[in-house]
Chain A
Amino acid sequence: QVQLQESGPGLVQPSQTLSLTCSVSGGSINRGSYFWTWIRQPAGKGLEWIGRIYTSGGTNYNPSLMSRVTISADTSKNQFSLKLTSVTAADTAMYFCARGYGGSSSEGVRLDYWGQGTLVTVSA
């Protein structure tokens, strides 16, 4: 059973960099056709797709965040990470990591395993 767990500071100062890590157990992040994904949810709002890193190392980012976001992977630790620079109060949210899996070409990519999320508050 694949499990994901987010970790990182719960409080970040405005203009600083938000850094989160997702630890994966029950499967290797560099095997299979998976997309290791970050999603966030501001309080009282819906889910926002931040971006993903492929098993091959390629990435896709949400254009609204592209200038500030980097997703990377550390296969030796079976983890992947999110960095978001120049944060403001608008970046306060619950942050989730998830595994994306694409089966056949007719099915598309779905997020089949998720972490429980970690709350990050941007405040001085």
Chain B
Amino acid sequence: DIQMTQSPSSLSASVGDRVTITCRASQTISSYLNWYHHKPGKAPKLLIYGASKLHSGVPSRFSGSGSGTDFTLTISGLQLEDFAIYYCQQSYSPPHTFGQGTKLEIK
């Protein structure tokens, strides 16, 4: 299985801040990398697919970059609704493994 490692595991920030979350794959996955946002008790939401493509309806303050083994998710201008858990996921080969998650908390 391809292992996905996110950093940091948790992050404190303020409304308006710019934050970056990284995700590293244990082997090359080209650009087959997705990012999700999850608030407990709700359905996870797709933010970014193909490493850098914004899913329909997702605000432009979210952006993704990277290819191969190293990827980043950047949120520019945090809003209250962005405080949640973020997961990366590879879709290069099944099983489509997830990172362990990054909890974004209000400072």
Contact = CB atoms under 8 A, between A and B. Distances in A.
Contacts of B98: 46-49
B interface, over-half SS: loop
B76 interface: no
Given A47-B87, A47-B98, A96 B31 contact: no
Contact of A111 (B36, B92, B100): B36
Interface residues of A, number: 27
A48 B50 CA distance: 20
Interface string A72-87: 0000000000000000
Nearest to A37: B96
Contacts of B97: 49
Contacts of B84: none
B95 A96 contact: no
Interface of B: 1, 30-34, 36, 41-46, 49-50, 53, 55, 87, 89, 91-92, 94-101
15 contacts: A47-B89, A47-B98, A49-B95, A51-B95, A60-B94, A63-B1, A96-B43, A96-B44, A98-B44, A103-B50, A108-B50, A111-B34, A112-B55, A114-B44, A114-B45
